[in-house]
Amino acid sequence: MEKNNKDRIIARQSMSKLSLDYFKECGICPSLSDLIKITAMLEHFIIDGYSKELVNKFEAMDEYIMKQYKG
């Protein structure tokens, strides 16, 4: 297995755990689709680093999650 691919797998696993912990702490039971979206966004942040575009996506996702799950 290529090192870069192994790093992505590790990042994905770690971000899946972080996503689940985040939702649990917020008292949210997300859809599988939303869990996958958040995990992918966090993975991009870990692999690619900070970008204004990614921050905008996180802000939009936060707003969506609060409306969808917290009313």
What is the chain's pLDDT, residue by residue, as a tens digit (71 residues)?
Answer: 567 889 889 999 999 999 999 999 999 999 999 999 999 999 999 988 999 999 999 999 999 999 999 87
CB-side neighbour CA atoms (13 Å) of 14:
12
Q: Is the pTM of this model over 0.85?
A: no
What Cα–Cα distance (Å) separates residue 3 from each residue in 42, 46, 63?
20, 15, 35
What is the gyration radius of the CA atoms in the chain, in angstroms? 13
* CA-based end-to-end distance of the chain: 44
